């Protein structure tokens, strides 16, 4: 019982880490729309996914994709949230900083929905199955719909926190994945649950299990030196699974924690990654 209780407490703390003063997530959505992003809602079995899309990839055939973190999964020590919308949508803030001519932001299942729309949402998709095959397939279907419009489109993937987990899983399953960048990402959730004493996420896929495929994808992984939620040890466990042939770039920003202050330096940070820099220069 102690292990389970500790796990729930930690999950509550993790879900609460996004509670930073400032604009609400829905305010950020409105700001994105004011900046030219078009909002769409995609319906799948068991949940809906909200996306924001700006620009055109019809010339460059290049699309930068941002995947949001886990959001507000828990509201108390023993109670799952009915609304997983993040209080601090870091991936959305990063997307708003991206000057590429084609950017797609993908929210996680059931984030940003009205109460009446959330009644059909299954909470396992922001708890035990948050990185499950059904969620990965849904993200791939969203990307397929957009990429199908212009054959030959290449996809650059950026994921924050648990969105980085999904970005890695998507990169492992797509032939058009050009590169992968993660920020404070839970890239080995088995190592993460062991570290925090949490119940394993039995319904979720784990990036290290796709090491052979992921090893061929150019990667850059950022971690905060003060991050107590997803430590550098989780990244090290993922890198060990990839093995020596793969050579992902990694960078620790010593003064940053899990949520602060990635968006402040984002254009400079992602610009340090040659594949992304070349990708962006082709579409500016």
What is the pLDDT, as a whole number, of residue 283?
A: 46
How far is the C-alpha of 284 from the C-alpha of 280, rounded, in Å?
A: 6
Q: Name the β-bridge partners of 154.
A: 62
Provide the 3-class DSSP secondary structure of residue 74.
Answer: strand
Q: Left, alpha or beta for 233 (phi > 0: left; psi -120 to 50: alpha)?
A: alpha
Q: What local confidence, expressed as pLDDT, does residue 52 receive?
A: 96
Residue 202's region, left for phi above 0, alpha for psi from -120 to 50, else beta, is alpha
Where exactly are the structural domains of the chain?
Answer: 2-283
Report the distance separating Cα 274 and Cα 100, nearest Å.
15
Whole-model pTM: value is: 0.90
Spans of the chain below 50 pLDDT: 1-22, 283-284
Of 64, 42, 61, the closest CA to residue 51 belongs to: 42
Q: What tens digit of pLDDT does each residue of 4-32 get?
A: 333 343 444 444 343 333 457 778 888 88
pLDDT tens, residue by residue, 31-82: 888 888 999 999 998 899 999 999 876 666 889 999 999 999 877 657 888 8
Q: What is the pLDDT of residue 11?
A: 45
How is the chain split among helix, strand and coil, in percent rounded to 5? 40, 20, 40
CATH top-level class of 2-283: alpha beta
For residues 267 and 277, give the distance between their C-alpha atoms in angstroms, rounded to a whole number. Answer: 10
CA pair distance 243, 251, nearest whole angstrom: 18
Q: Do residues 18 and 86 touch, judged by C-beta distance below 8 A?
A: yes
Alpha helices in the chain (DSSP H): 2-16, 25-34, 90-97, 115-118, 133-147, 162-173, 189-196, 211-214, 232-242, 266-270, 274-283
Q: What is the pLDDT of residue 10?
A: 42
Which residues have C-beta within 8 Å of that of residue 55, sequence separation ≥ 6? 36, 100, 101, 102, 103
Per-residue pLDDT, 284: 46
Q: Are strands 249-253 and 47-55 parallel, antiparallel or unpaired?
A: unpaired
pLDDT score of 249: 96
pLDDT score of 281: 64
% residues pLDDT > 90 (the chain): 69
Give the three-class secondary structure for 105.
strand
At 76 the pLDDT is 67
């Amino acid at each position: 019982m102690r292990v389970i209780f500790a796990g729930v407490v930690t999950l509550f703390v993790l879900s609460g880490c996004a509670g930073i003063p400032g604009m609400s997530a829905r305010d950020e959505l409105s700001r994105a729309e004011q900046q030219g992003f078009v909002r769409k809602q995609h319906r799948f079995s068991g949940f809906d996914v909200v996306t924001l899309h700006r620009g055109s990839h019809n010339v460059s055939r290049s699309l930068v994709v941002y995947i949001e973190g886990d959001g507000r999964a828990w509201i108390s020590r023993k109670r799952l949230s009915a609304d997983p919308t993040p209080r601090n949508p870091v991936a959305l803030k990063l997307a708003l900083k991206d000057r590429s001519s084609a950017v797609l932001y993908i929210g996680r299942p059931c984030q940003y929905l009205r109460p009446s729309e959330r009644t059909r949402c299954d909470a396992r998709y922001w708890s035990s199955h948050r990185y499950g095959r059904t969620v990965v397939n849904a993200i791939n279907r969203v990307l397929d719909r957009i990429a199908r419009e212009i054959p030959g489109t290449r996809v650059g993937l950026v994921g924050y926190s648990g969105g980085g987990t999904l970005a890695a899983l998507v990169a492992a399953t797509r032939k058009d994945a050009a590169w992968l960048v993660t920020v404070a990402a839970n890239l080995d959730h088995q190592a993460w649950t062991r570290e925090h004493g949490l119940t394993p996420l039995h319904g979720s896929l784990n990036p290290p299990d796709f090491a052979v495929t992921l090893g061929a994808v150019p990667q850059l992984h950022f971690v905060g030196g003060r991050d107590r939620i997803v430590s550098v040890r989780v990244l090290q466990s993922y890198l060990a699974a990839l093995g020596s042939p793969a050579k992902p770039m990694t960078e620790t920003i010593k003064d940053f924690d899990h949520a602060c202050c990635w968006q402040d330096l984002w254009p400079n940070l992602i610009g340090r990654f040659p594949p992304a820099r070349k990708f962006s220069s082709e579409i500016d």
